Amino acid sequence: MSELTDSIERTRRTWAEHDDSEAQLAERRARAAAAGAVRSLTEVLSEDRLALIVEPKRATPQRGTINPELDVAAVVAECEAGGACAISIVTEPLLSAGRVEDLTAARGACELPLIARDFVVDVRQVYELRAAGADALHVPVSAHLDDDDHELDVIILAAHQLGMEVVLSVHNDDELEFAIGTDADVLNIDNRVGDGRIDVERTFELLADVPVGWPVISESIAAVDHVAKLHRAGVDALLLDEGHLDTGLTSALAVYADLSLDA
């Protein structure tokens, strides 16, 4: 079993151990419903520009700990001022040292849409993440490919009922086919390969099979000249993952925000 698969299964077991009563489940829903107005990610992605989404991180599976003293509120505020269009907050604790509390910190520091990135395998996670301030969910399709119980459908429906949007992350043709068969709102094409390298050709290859009308994010790029090429190919946003940048997020934003389609 891979580290990724093991982490997904550990997340599933952890939530299965939470035997909520109907009253507890109702309380979770109520907290989520009271979280305030949702900020739309798809509206940002529909604008006539290449959106830049940033993702601060404490750790990555490939590099281990990279930023143990991460001040989420400070980074988010700097990135909003630097031109970011949305913020991806990693709440997954096992591989990336994420915390649900980071959503609350980010919510108080900026006005941008917040995307909670996690192995969302239980509908109760939807309520928890919305209550903490998430506007959208970023879910890897790999966590649901063997989903005989239609758990992802339940998760997407719950998110939509709360006004949230769902981003499904894919790596290959099989995952893309699965994703476009759901009611998710946005596709994220992850260019990372197993050893940590970036293969941007993955985005170009999969884009050909994305139905018209689906907003597309390309995650992680290896060179600045990919920016304009990806936008011309039909990508709506780039996800700048701190774990795969040679510079900090604000420095990367300063570079990418100045690049035009003809760069």
List the CATH number of the domain containing 137: 3.20.20.70
Dist. CA 205–CA 44, nearest whole Å: 24
Sign of CA dihedral 226, 227, 231, 237: positive
Dist. CA 76–CA 196, nearest whole Å: 25
Least-confidence region, from 12-16, 22-26, 108-112, 195-199: 195-199
65 lies in a domain? Answer: yes
Helices (H) and strands (E) in the chain, counts: 12, 10
215 lies in a domain? Answer: yes
Q: What residues form DSSP beta bridges with 55?
A: 241
Residue 127 has pLDDT above 90, yes or no: yes
Where do we find the tokens 């969910």? 137
198 lies in a domain? Answer: yes
What's the average model confidence in pLDDT over 93-121? Answer: 96
Residue 214 has pLDDT above 70, yes or no: yes
216 lies in a domain? Answer: yes
Q: Which domain holds residue 195?
A: 3-256
DSSP 252: H
pLDDT tens-digit profile of 31-64?
999 999 999 999 999 998 899 999 999 988 778 8
71 lies in a domain? Answer: yes
- Contact present, 227 and 260 (Cβ < 8 Å): no
Dist. CA 219–CA 109, nearest whole Å: 24
261 lies in a domain? Answer: no
- Contact present, 119 and 92 (Cβ < 8 Å): yes
Instruction: Compute the mean pLDDT over every residue in the chain, rounded to the nearest whole number.
Output: 91
Predicted TM-score (pTM) of the model is 0.94
pLDDT band (50, 70, 90) for residue 262 = very low
55 lies in a domain? Answer: yes
What's the average model confidence in pLDDT over 176-184? Answer: 97
pLDDT band (50, 70, 90) for residue 259 = low
- Contact present, 129 and 118 (Cβ < 8 Å): yes
Residue 261 has pLDDT above 50, yes or no: no
Taking CA atoms, 97 is separated from 5, 69, 182, in Å, by 17, 11, 29
263 lies in a domain? Answer: no
How many structural domains are present in the chain? Answer: 1
